[in-house]
Amino acid sequence: MDLTGEARSIQVIIRFCIRVTILIVFAAFGSIGFGRSLRALLCMSTALCAVLAVAKREAPLDSVLNHWDEITAYVALCCLTAVFDSYSVPI
């Protein structure tokens, strides 16, 4: 199926939102705490997207969104989670 650039970008955004929602749900049930679980899951998602991007031979700076852009978003969320988790007070 040959999608236009805009349709592929929308598909990537929807895929990213669904994945992040699933990661948040799984992190909520993590035994090591929400922040640490979410950070670990985001790191694993980053590695998965890197493998998929290389396997599909996607260009890193393409004009449409792809797995490389997802990697960037996952890394940013991982760093943000690390910052917020470092300021959390253990109960």
This prediction's pTM: 0.85
Q: 89: helix, coil or strand?
A: coil
| pLDDT of res. 85 | 78
Q: pLDDT class for 89, splitting at 50, 70, 90? A: low
In angstroms, rounded to a whole number, what is the distance separating the alpha carbons of residues 65 and 61? 9
Give pLDDT tens digits for 26-44: 999 988 888 889 999 999 9
Q: Is-contact 41 27, C-beta < 8 A?
A: yes
- Tell me: pLDDT of 22 over 80: yes
> Which own/partner pairs from 86-89 qualify as long-range (CB within 8 Å, at least 24 positions apart)?
88/35
Q: Is-contact 72 80, C-beta < 8 A?
A: no
Listed by start position, the domains of the chain span 5-86
What average pLDDT does this structure show over 62-91? 87
